[in-house]
Amino acid sequence: MYKRVAAVLFPVVSILLIGSLVWGNQLKQERNAVQINAENQYQRAFHDLSFHMDRIHSELGNTLAVNAASQGMHRKSLMNVWRMTSEAQNEINQLPLSMLPAEKTEEFLSRIANFSYKAGVRDLSKEPLNDGEFKTLKQLYKSSGEITEDLKKVQNAVLTQKLRWLDVDMAMANRQEPADQTILDGFSTLNKRVETYPELDWGPSVSSMYEKRSVKMLSGMPVNEEDISRKALKFADLGQNAKCDVSANGQGTDWESYTANVQAKGKEPISMDFTRKGGLLISYTDSRQVGGKQVTVQQAMEKAERFLEKKGYRNMTAVSADPYNNLVNFTFVRQHDDVLIYPEKMTVRSALDNGDVIGFQASDFVYEHQDKREIPQAKLGIEEARKTLNPDFKELYNRKALIKNDRNEDTLCYEIGGRINGSQYKLYINADTGLEETVEVVKDAQAGVS
């Protein structure tokens, strides 16, 4: 009997053993193939990064080498710097540096990219590079040369010692120190070098991109929890029996705020966030359940307009609508006379079961709102602005709009909506120069809002 059982089981066990060996070998080969592919990608990204940093250094030198009046060459070199810096940023993000000290280097590259782009895209014949920008370029040329040399040292070590990025990646992921510290030490040294560079005059348009919004930017006196409770109860308007719990956030930081939760018997709670300085409302959320769709987007928009008017947000105009399921998000901007002020915008969420507003986000409005914002007069009429349009563009409407240009400056434009190639667009034509500042595609759901 045992012989018969053994005769049956032996070949079965042999087949399973052989199969497991084959399967294990196949898994090993697949793992090795994945590792080889990952290492090749890391190596390519690193060597491309070194190459592009060398090119950035050369292009900055080209910008400084030509005559100060050579606007065409300046524009070409600056745009090349921007393009290659963007490539370098992409390459550094492909390296396993999430746990390596490279944040200062990444920020430095980001600032070079924005500086070169904003300087290169402007009309240099009317606004050539100034003395401050040439001084910044000289420092960038010097700094980029130092960064290039540091990268070349690491690159030489990687090639001569046959170092693997994958070893660094795996060691850092396991919270261990890699056996060879060359790559880690190289990027640590590079990051420390960048950190010691003198503060440069990047210009207001670039510097503003890195300014963190904080309560320090706001006017008004600091408020306490009692003040917030009164504001929240009044805004929620849930009756005299409503109660409010207030908690402080970010104490001792630039982001101090309060969260207020208003609760009334038989109703879902309403949550609101306020700034500590000035007690300004940043966000509002009604957590009630939303039923099936019963009202149109247009009806909800009209109800949202009345809600904002009642709550003290006057002269707000809906410029877009994005419905999904039984909700719709509206973008409202403040309107002054006949000009839409796009920096002062807020997003309002409405429920399509009854059209009520169930939430909004007003951070942009809070930080950008100005009671006496200066709005320049248009130098060009709408007919002159239309000369810029594509002959095939079918205009549907036009209006004046104040937007932020690429240099983060308030710019008066003509917003011209229309259709071309089967899609609807908003074109923003500079009311002084007649040049296009920006173009936006309009979703079908938004078409009826403009």
pLDDT value of position 276 = 87
Residue 209 confidence class, pLDDT cut points 50, 70, 90: very low
pLDDT, mean over the chain: 80
- Structure-block tokens of residue 69: 């009046």
Beta partners for 272? 260, 284
- Checking if the pLDDT of 344 tops 90, the result is yes
Is 196 or 108 the better-scoring residue by pLDDT? 108
Domains of the chain: which residue ranges? 17-210, 225-368, 382-446
Report d(CA 113, CA 18) in Å as an integer. Answer: 58
Is 301 or 240 the better-scoring residue by pLDDT? 301
pLDDT value of position 147 = 84
- Checking if the pLDDT of 351 tops 90, the result is yes
pLDDT value of position 210 = 44
Q: What does the pLDDT average to over 292-318?
A: 94
pLDDT value of position 20 = 63
201 secondary structure, DSSP code: -
Alpha-carbon separation of residue 407 from 1, 114, 125, 208, 435 (angstroms): 90, 9, 17, 9, 15
CB proximity list for 210: less than 8 A, separation 6 or greater: 107, 111
According to the per-residue pLDDT averaged within each range, which of 6-15, 42-51, 131-140, 436-445 is highest?
Answer: 131-140
Helix residue ranges, H only, 224-333: 225-236, 297-310
**pLDDT tens digits for range 237-272:** 988 889 999 998 877 666 788 899 999 888 888 999
The three-state secondary structure class of 292 is coil
Residue 34 confidence class, pLDDT cut points 50, 70, 90: low
Report d(CA 275, CA 249) in Å as an integer. Answer: 10
Among 7-11, 71-75, 142-146, 409-413, whose mean pLDDT is lowest?
Answer: 7-11
Give me the DSSP letters along 78-98. Answer: HHHHHHHHHHHHHHHHHSS-T
- Checking if the pLDDT of 446 tops 60, the result is no
**pLDDT tens digits for range 161-200:** 777 767 666 655 555 555 556 676 667 777 777 766 666 5
Among 104-108, 291-295, 314-318, 401-405, whose mean pLDDT is lowest?
Answer: 104-108
- For the chain, percent of residues with pLDDT exceeding 70: 76
Report d(CA 139, CA 230) in Å as an integer. Answer: 53
pLDDT value of position 52 = 85
pLDDT value of position 436 = 87
- Checking if the pLDDT of 60 tops 80, the result is yes
For 382-446, CATH number?
Answer: 3.10.450
pLDDT value of position 381 = 93
Alpha-carbon separation of residue 13 from 1, 6, 27 (angstroms): 18, 10, 21
pLDDT value of position 298 = 94
- For the chain, percent of residues with pLDDT exceeding 90: 30
Beta partners for 349? 329, 359
Report d(CA 362, CA 204) in Å as an integer. Answer: 25
For residues 316, 322, 324 and 328, what is the CA-based torsion angle, rounded to 10 degrees?
Answer: 0
Is 428 or 153 the better-scoring residue by pLDDT? 428
